[in-house]
A and B are shown apart, each in its own frame.
Chain A
Amino acid sequence: MENIYKPYLARIEEKRKETYDTTSFKLVFVDDEVRERFTFRAGNFGEYSVLGEGESTFCIASSPTKKGYIECCFRAVGRVTKSLAEKEVGDVIGFRGPYGNHFPVEDFFGKNVVFIAGGIALPPVRSVIWNVLDLRDKFEKVTIVYGARSVADLVYKHELKLWEERSDVDIVTTVDPGGETPEWKGKIGFVPTVLKEVAPSSENSVAVLCGPPIMIKFTLPVLRELGFKEEDVWTTLENRMKCGLGKCGRCNVGSVYVCKEGPVFTAAQIARMPNDF
């Protein structure tokens, strides 16, 4: 009997504490066949579980171009994520997925791609960033604007360095005013403000955006001013999800089930949704 609620088992191959409350894992599926067969698209999410504590919803933070493993990054705030954060390399956790829709990366071929992310919202965007960088010659200019409340809150710091070192990527990192350290060499300012300064061209461009609601609220007008059309601004929504299968009735925003018809949406689609966030 096919059990849609049964997770794959995955072993933690790498664990990194990104910030004081954020952890990232590199996961390898225990079952050889699953490891071979498993595919997904950038933007998909999964239900990560600690058997005995429960399941938690977050994105797959790695790119589908990387085979044999997946990565995730999460903040320890609740029962399940706190328990996940205590797991060590070698421990086995559960993973159900991939669920949801995805970023239409092929539609971005031949275009400039502007990535904008804030804080813990980098992981879902990171999946697309690596997807794009692994197919670099298919895209035009790649711009990344990433910021967090403070230096301590930046995640995937070692990758920010990697991207800075690449000549085919323009990356600007920033921290909120007051969040800088004496050694900080990046910008100081809120992400929407910095984006305005960077002023990426909207000509033949798409934007991939993810961040806390307040950041999104102030970033969308900046993109609009820069000339980005709402159909070309892509984001991923977070909502309280549980089954990931469209059945438990929890995640809908109006008639849109975030787990089935999302979590990836354009700004145009979001503008049409009722205020059920």
Chain B
Amino acid sequence: MPYLKMDSADLPKVARKLAASGARLVLPVREGDERFYREGADPDSLDLTTIPKNSIKEFLFPKTEKILRYQYRGKDVTVEDVPPAAAGRTVIFGARPCDAASLPVVEPLWNWDYKDEFFNARRGATVVVTYACRTAPDEACFCVSVGLGPSSDQGSDVLLFPLDETVVAVRFVTAAGRELESAFAEFGKGEVAEEALEAFRKTGEASLAHRKKFDRVQGWLEAHFEDRLWEEKAFRCVGCGTCTFLCPTCHCFDIQDESCFDVGYRLKNWDACQFSLFTLHTSGHNPRDTQPKRYRQRIYHKYAIYPQKFGKILCTGCGRCVAHCPVNLSLYDVVATAQERAERGD
């Protein structure tokens, strides 16, 4: 089946059209030497050069959000719902495949028996137009290690293939994606054969051929909880939340109340298992009292616990944790070590 062909220079125009209906538009833009996904940016500042520093997580799971409002009247208090912020229609235009794929990965958690309607409302109203990677945009990328790839369509409604500097092929993946066809069709310049996309996919994967496949990691982790690996590898971790907060799939949170006199809000805020207080009991006991134990929890959650519970790895190999860790503690290195040891039977 052939795909729509268009000029990459017209992509900002498509984005502008999609935002015209009043949708919240999220795009990667340039700030200084970096790229960030930002909402409300001018479509003409669309910058698809490389993977943005932040992930799209904050647009579905904000770094802080009000989840209810309370009001005191004397001894009495009432609570009211607060509608989920930014739950109107959202178009994420130019997401990387690793970011798009994070959405189906985290959905089971937000709906594990109890349905988090804050996330669901935004997920239901969000459409993702993904920009596939011709080659891995950064040295830190390892999406192929976790079963994804630079052309993965997981979580995407529309998938854009930059066949070269000027030509983009467009694949409408889902029904929601097909609803956007008219916005693209106006800029269509013919068709691209399916074979071209095959070649594109192979080029992308070749650029990541050096990355190990993490297919034995879960089993190794389940058998090596007390291994010395954590002490050895996690020494240099300083316990900041950079890896956790930049990660598209990390979702741990804190609940806080903030008042102003007799009115206040309960909020849901990003939190990180890397912080020393994360599991601290009021009694003073802390099950994870050293950084190696906290780091172990991060790896286990992503590569053993989440797969056990939901059948998916809680990681899309975007590489942000590797690229931006202030002390170059590479999650890829640590997990690759586990994989190697599993392969060696060690």
Instruction: Report the Cα distance A84→B109, complex, angstroms.
Output: 31
In this assembly, does A235 line the interface, its C-beta being within 8 Å of a C-beta of chain B?
Answer: no
Closest Cβ–Cβ distance, residue A77 to chain B (whole Å) = 5
Q: Is the CB of A2 within 8 A of B115?
A: yes
Instruction: Report the Cα distance A274→B305, complex, angstroms.
Output: 12
Which residues of A in the span 260-277 have a Cβ within 8 Å of any Cβ on B? 260, 274-277
Q: Which residues of B contact A1 (CB under 8 A)?
A: 81, 83-84, 117, 121
Q: Is the CB of A254 within 8 A of B79?
A: no
Q: Which residues of B contact A2 (CB under 8 A)?
A: 115, 117
In this assembly, does A239 line the interface, its C-beta being within 8 Å of a C-beta of chain B?
Answer: yes
In this assembly, does A245 line the interface, its C-beta being within 8 Å of a C-beta of chain B?
Answer: yes
A92-B76, A276-B288 known; A54 and B259 CB under 8 Å? no
A5-B268, A52-B70 known; A243 and B113 CB under 8 Å? no
Q: Is the CB of B268 within 8 A of A274?
A: no
CB < 8 Å: which of B116, B251, B282, B309 contacts A78? Answer: B282
Contact with A along B234-268 (1 / 0, CB 8 A): 00000000000000000111111101000010101
Instruction: Report the Cα distance A243→B67, complex, angstroms.
Output: 12
In this assembly, does A249 line the interface, its C-beta being within 8 Å of a C-beta of chain B?
Answer: yes
Closest Cβ–Cβ distance, residue A49 to chain B (whole Å) = 8
Q: Is the CB of A92 within 8 A of B75?
A: yes
Which residues of B in the span 248-306 have a Cβ within 8 Å of any Cβ on A? 251-257, 259, 264, 266, 268, 271, 273, 278-283, 285, 287-288, 293, 297, 300-301, 304-305
Quick one: closest A residue to B119, CB to CB? Answer: A247
A246-B113, A254-B300 known; A51 and B77 CB under 8 Å? yes
Q: Which residues of A contact B279 (CB under 8 A)?
A: 239-240, 250
Q: Which residues of A contact B116 (CB under 8 A)?
A: 4, 245, 247
Q: Is the CB of A54 within 8 A of B309?
A: no
Instruction: Report the Cα distance A214→B84, complex, angstroms.
Output: 44
Contact with B along A219-252 (1 / 0, CB 8 A): 0000000000000000000111011011111101
Q: Which residues of A contact B305 (CB under 8 A)?
A: 252, 254-255
Closest Cβ–Cβ distance, residue A5 to chain B (whole Å) = 5
Q: Which residues of B contact A81 (CB under 8 A)?
A: 282
Q: Which residues of B contact A77 (CB under 8 A)?
A: 282-283
Q: Is the CB of B68 within 8 A of A248?
A: no
A1-B83, A247-B112, A255-B305 known; A6 and B257 CB under 8 Å? no
Quick one: closest B residue to A87, CB to CB? Answer: B75
Q: Is the CB of B226 within 8 A of A51?
A: no
Instruction: Report the Cα distance A253→B287, complex, angstroms.
Output: 9
- Per DSSP, chain A at the interface is loop
Instruction: Report the Cα distance A238→B282, complex, angstroms.
Output: 12
Q: Which residues of B contact A90 (CB under 8 A)?
A: 75
Closest Cβ–Cβ distance, residue A261 to chain B (whole Å) = 10
Instruction: Report the Cα distance A3→B113, complex, angstroms.
Output: 13
Closest Cβ–Cβ distance, residue A30 to chain B (whole Å) = 9
Q: Which residues of B contact A243 (CB under 8 A)?
A: 253, 255
- A sample of 21 cross-chain residue pairs with beta-carbon separation below 8 angstroms, ordered by A number, consists of A3-B67, A5-B266, A6-B79, A9-B77, A49-B257, A81-B282, A88-B75, A91-B75, A92-B75, A239-B287, A242-B254, A245-B113, A247-B114, A247-B251, A247-B253, A248-B271, A249-B271, A250-B279, A255-B309, A260-B112, A276-B297
Which residues of B in the span 70-88 have a Cβ within 8 Å of any Cβ on A? 70, 72, 75-79, 81, 83-84
In this assembly, does B308 line the interface, its C-beta being within 8 Å of a C-beta of chain A?
Answer: yes
Which residues of A in the span 34-86 have a Cβ within 8 Å of any Cβ on B? 49-55, 77-78, 81
Q: Which residues of B contact A242 (CB under 8 A)?
A: 253-255
CB < 8 Å: which of B81, B112, B264, B273 contacts A246? Answer: B112
Closest Cβ–Cβ distance, residue B300 to chain A (whole Å) = 7
Q: Is the CB of B117 within 8 A of A51?
A: no
Instruction: Report the Cα distance A230→B114, complex, angstroms.
Output: 31
Instruction: Report the Cα distance A39→B72, complex, angstroms.
Output: 28
Q: Which residues of A contact B283 (CB under 8 A)?
A: 77
Which residues of B in the span 48-72 have a Cβ within 8 Å of any Cβ on A? 67-68, 70, 72
Given contacts A4-B114, A246-B109, A246-B113, 4 further A-B contacts (CB under 8 A): A5-B255, A50-B257, A52-B257, A54-B255
Instruction: Report the Cα distance A77→B280, complex, angstroms.
Output: 13
A249-B252, A250-B252 known; A52 and B268 CB under 8 Å? no
A54-B256, A55-B255, A248-B271 known; A7 and B115 CB under 8 Å? no
Quick one: closest A residue to B225, CB to CB? Answer: A274
Closest Cβ–Cβ distance, residue A7 to chain B (whole Å) = 7
Instruction: Give me the 3 closest cross-chain CB pairs, A-B, nearest first.
Output: A249-B252, A51-B70, A78-B282
Quick one: closest B residue to A7, CB to CB? Answer: B79
A4-B115, A252-B305, A276-B288 known; A94 and B280 CB under 8 Å? no
Closest Cβ–Cβ distance, residue B54 to chain A (whole Å) = 20
Q: Is the CB of A240 within 8 A of B257?
A: no
Q: Is the CB of A51 within 8 A of B257?
A: yes
Closest Cβ–Cβ distance, residue A59 to chain B (whole Å) = 15
Instruction: Report the Cα distance A210→B299, complex, angstroms.
Output: 31
